[in-house]
Chain A
Amino acid sequence: SSELTQDPAVSVALGQTVRITCQGHSLRIYYASWYQQKPGQAPVLVMYGKNNRPSGIPDRFSGSNSGNTASLTITGAQAEDEADYYCNSRDSNGDHHYVFGTGTKVTVL
């Protein structure tokens, strides 16, 4: 199956901008979706497709794609954005499967 690689951890100062990246072959074919998971909670969809935010997700979250890399950017990070973030896409191996990224821990300083 495909693999999606993320940096294990990033930190950002309160109010500054942070970009989380996700790399994998499947991203050359399929758009990524992004999930925020806070401790003890279920994941929440925060971005999908070219740059689509579900209802209720703040507009400081944005997405972009280039080649085999998808990115989630938080512009003006808030304390409540501290969480684990996972990317996901369809598996590029032909079957109807999905794959999650390795996850990025975002710390807001």
Chain B
Amino acid sequence: EVQLEQSGAEVKEPGESLKISCKGSGYSFSTHWIAWVRQMPGKGLEYMGIIYPGDSDTRNSPSLQGQVTISADKSTSTAYLQWSSLKASDTAMYYCARIYSGSQADAFDIWGRGTLVTVSS
């Protein structure tokens, strides 16, 4: 079964660092882009960026440039989303998703269940 397994919920204080993970299984992890998607409480889906695990080619959304770091380890089929100094406004659900690239369109075809990050003092 093709799936993405995300790490568990986190509760952090402002200023702390954090790294959450997304482990792929059931397919060739190295050859599919992985996207990170943010959903703030009661809000819509927001694209954060993508990574190609095969060579770690990374594209960060211009609107979030510098706020997070996306990385991957193809040897463990795991992608990561990292913050060096969290803010209360980082409180959100974070999803990873596999990108299917077809002849007609790209699609986020497999999603993780999400990691809830709560930042509060």
Report A's interface with B, CB cutoff 8 A.
1, 30-33, 35, 37, 42-45, 48-50, 52, 54, 84, 86, 88-90, 95-103
Contact = CB atoms under 8 A, between A and B. Distances in A.
B108 A88 contact: yes
30 contacts: A1-B63, A30-B105, A33-B105, A42-B95, A42-B112, A42-B113, A43-B37, A43-B111, A45-B107, A45-B108, A45-B111, A49-B102, A49-B104, A50-B104, A52-B105, A84-B44, A86-B45, A88-B47, A88-B107, A89-B105, A90-B106, A96-B50, A97-B62, A98-B35, A98-B108, A99-B47, A100-B44, A100-B45, A103-B44, A103-B45
Q: How large is the interface on B (under 10, 10 to 19, 20 to 34, 35 or more residues)?
A: 20 to 34
A35 B45 contact: yes
B114 interface: yes
Given A97-B59, A97-B61, A98-B35, A48 B107 contact: yes
Contacts of A50: 104-105
Contacts of B49: 97
A58 B13 CA distance: 44
A45 B109 CA distance: 6
A84 B43 CA distance: 11
A54 B100 CA distance: 11
Nearest to A44: B111
5 pairs of A and B residues whose beta carbons are closest in the complex: A49-B104, A31-B105, A48-B107, A49-B105, A33-B107
If over half of B's interface residues share one DSSP class (helix, strand or loop), that class is named, otherwise mixed; here it is strand
Interface of B: 35, 37, 44-47, 49-50, 59, 61-63, 95, 97, 100, 102, 104-109, 111-114
A66 B95 CA distance: 30
A84 B45 CA distance: 10
A41 B95 CA distance: 11
Given A98-B35, A98-B50, A100-B47, A42 B114 contact: yes
A89 B45 CA distance: 13
Contacts of A103: 44-45
